[in-house]
Amino acid sequence: MLRIVRQLLELIRFSHTIFALPFALLAAALAWMDEPVRWQDLGGILLCMVFARSAAMAFNRLVDRRFDAANPRTAMRHLPAGTLSVEVVWLFTLVCCVGFIGATLLFYLREPANPWPLYLSGPTLLFILGYSFAKRFTSLSHFWLGIALTLAPVGAWVAIRGFTEMAVPLLLGGAVAFWVAGFDILYACQDYAFDKQAGLHSIPARFGIARSLRIAAACHAVMFGLLVALLWASPHLGSVFTTGLVLVGGLLIYEHRLVRADDLTRVNRAFFHVNGVISLGLLAVVVVQLAVK
């Protein structure tokens, strides 16, 4: 059992929760500036994030297992390699889906006047699971993934405050969407040849690697602009957050200097290391800023 649990955590790359979770907590921290902090809300946000992401990743591995087996880069993943059975992963996916919907009940029980987290749990789940099919019919699959992760900060805000003063979560969510789309385009450059051969749609497969790198850079420029707009939209952000933005801008520039059209060997460093620092760094900066305020 312990071996299966470890393999399931490897399957969904549990450590990559670091990309979306900090933004959900960041939105929650800003929402709590005008609301009482309730540990029930924090528990609900953490459970929803873990269950939703785990369900999405496991489902993605299930529906993509044929492509993963044919792609040399992914052929050793758990399902193509036979390390985990399809039945076990299906069961894990269903448990995570039920867990996500159940976790939204925490918000409803705390505040029945705000039933939206529970009402929207089903559509939210369908949208994030639907991403797994996007590469079969649209090159905009990267932006589908970005919007799926946008639901983390927007959902956290709605769970705490409902649909009030939505400028802050929408700006933050927009920044997350373009940030994720940008680094997912970088990551997809590794599969340029395979995607074209397999008939899968992606920005690199459609526009080539060189142009895709420029599109990714444009996405990150938009992300940075939305974070600057967030500075003006939230009265709780100030000089500490501004300093953090300067550092984030430097990290984004560094990320794009790591990857060149003729050298994709450092894509993983750009994808995992730099973006992990950005997400955790922004959360830390906002927490310090709010503490100063």
Task: State pLDDT tens for residues 170-203.
Answer: 999 999 999 999 999 999 999 999 999 999 999 9
**What's the one-letter identity of residue 29?**
A
CA 221-222-224 angle, to 5 degrees, is: 65
Tokens 């969510």, residue? 173
Confidence band for 293, pLDDT divided at 50, 70 and 90: confident
pLDDT at residue 251, rounded to an integer? 96
How much is the pTM? 0.95
Q: Give the span between the Cα atoms of 59 and 76, in whole angstroms.
A: 17
H/E segment holding residue 168? helix 167-188
Confidence band for 36, pLDDT divided at 50, 70 and 90: confident
| Closest C-alpha among 143, 102, 106, 142 to residue 125 | 102
Q: At residue 111, what are phi and psi to the nearest 5 degrees?
A: -145, 85
Mean pLDDT of the 271-292 span:
92
Is the CB of residue 106 less than 8 Å from the CB of residue 47? yes
Cα dihedral sign for 275, 280, 286, 292? negative
Per-residue tokens: 209: 């690697």
DSSP 8-state symbol, 131: G
Residue 237: count other Cβ atoms within 10 Å of its Cβ: 22
What percent of the chain is predicted at pLDDT more than 70? 100
Residue 228 in this model has a pLDDT that exceeds 90: yes
Q: Give the span between the Cα atoms of 269 and 274, in whole angstroms.
A: 7
Per-residue tokens: 40: 């029930």
User: 3-state DSSP call for residue 260?
Assistant: strand
Cα dihedral sign for 214, 171, 286, 284? negative
Mean pLDDT of the chain: 94
Is the CB of residue 288 less than 8 Å from the CB of residue 240? yes
**What's the one-letter identity of residue 281?**
G
Residue 277 C-alpha from the chain's centroid: 14
pLDDT at residue 117, rounded to an integer? 95
Q: Tell me: the pLDDT tens digits for 37-67?
A: 888 999 999 999 999 999 999 999 999 999 9
Q: What is the CA radius of gyration of the chain?
A: 19
**Domains along the sequence of the chain with CATH:** 2-292 (1.10.357.140)
Q: Which of 21-25, 109-113, 207-211, 283-287 has the lowest mean pLDDT?
A: 109-113
Q: At residue 200, what are phi and psi to the nearest 5 degrees?
A: -90, 150
| Closest C-alpha among 162, 257, 176, 276 to residue 220 | 176
Choose the most confident range, by mean pLDDT, from 10-19, 131-140, 262-271.
Answer: 131-140
pLDDT at residue 273, rounded to an integer? 85
